[in-house]
């Protein structure tokens, strides 16, 4: 290999940057878990970590939460997801 030929850079793992022009909001959007319940009809509750990742079982949720700054795991029931207001489309 020619020493003057640049080598391709390896892809970096980890934090992804946000797209150009994207601004962070100070208010977190409330996630909608109704589609998760629709995809898992036997599930009556979800275990949700502080990064809004939903799990069907508490163990995997707790394991995932260990790697977050906030290791809180919340329980969202099917009734809670059904009570969330749905966004209306603008005409």
The DSSP 8-state label assigned to residue 60 in this structure reads: H
Structure tokens at 6: 């640049």
Exposed/middle/buried for residue 80 (C-beta within 10 Å: 0-12, 13-18, 19+) = middle
Query: Which pLDDT score is estimated for 88?
Result: 46
Q: What DSSP letter does each residue of 27-58 carry, written as one string?
A: SPPPP--HHHHHH-TT-SEEEEETT--EESSH
Whole-structure pTM value = 0.59
Kindly state the average pLDDT of the residues 9-26: 47
**Tokens 């209306």 belong to which residue?**
88
Residue the block writes with tokens 């629709």 = 38
| Residues in Cβ contact with 24 at an 8 Å cutoff, skipping those fewer than 6 apart | 18
Distance CA 88, CA 43 (A): 26
- For residue range 28-66, what is the model confidence (pLDDT) as tens digits? 556 778 888 899 899 999 999 999 999 999 999 999 999
């Amino acid at each position: 290999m020619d020493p003057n030929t640049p080598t391709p850079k390896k892809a970096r793992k980890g934090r992804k940057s946000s797209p150009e022009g994207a601004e962070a909001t100070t208010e977190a959007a409330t996630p909608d878990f109704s589609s998760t319940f629709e995809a898992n009809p036997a599930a009556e509750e979800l275990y949700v970590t502080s990064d809004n990742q939903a799990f069907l079982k508490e163990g995997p949720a707790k394991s995932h939460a260990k790697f977050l700054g906030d290791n809180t795991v919340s329980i969202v029931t099917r009734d809670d997801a059904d009570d969330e207001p749905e966004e209306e489309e603008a005409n």
